[in-house]
Amino acid sequence: MRLEELVYELPQELIAQAPARPRDSSRLLVLHRDTGRIEDRAFPDVLEYLSPCDAVVMNDSRVIPARLFAALS
């Protein structure tokens, strides 16, 4: 990965300020590696992409209200 790939404009109105309600209405972005096609789905659809041998890791951490500012030199 190149550092330039991390530089992009993100409009303030696209940054989530609160969890989706209901929680299972959150969005899921799917990248098909074989074709490069991208799909915008709903999170409950994640089950379509899991196989019986897949491991699912649950993360119950909370986001703290903090922001990190950095400068490229």
Taking only the tens place, the pLDDT of each residue in 8-38 is 888 988 888 888 888 788 889 999 999 999 9
**How, if at all, do strands 38-42 and 27-31 pair?**
antiparallel
pLDDT of res. 65: 77
Torsion of CA 45, 13, 59, 3, to 10 degrees: 100
Q: Which residues contact 46 (CB under 8 A, 6 or more apart)?
A: 28
pTM: 0.55
pLDDT of res. 64: 80
d(C-alpha 57, C-alpha 34), whole Å: 24
Band of residue 52 on the pLDDT scale cut at 50, 70, 90: very high
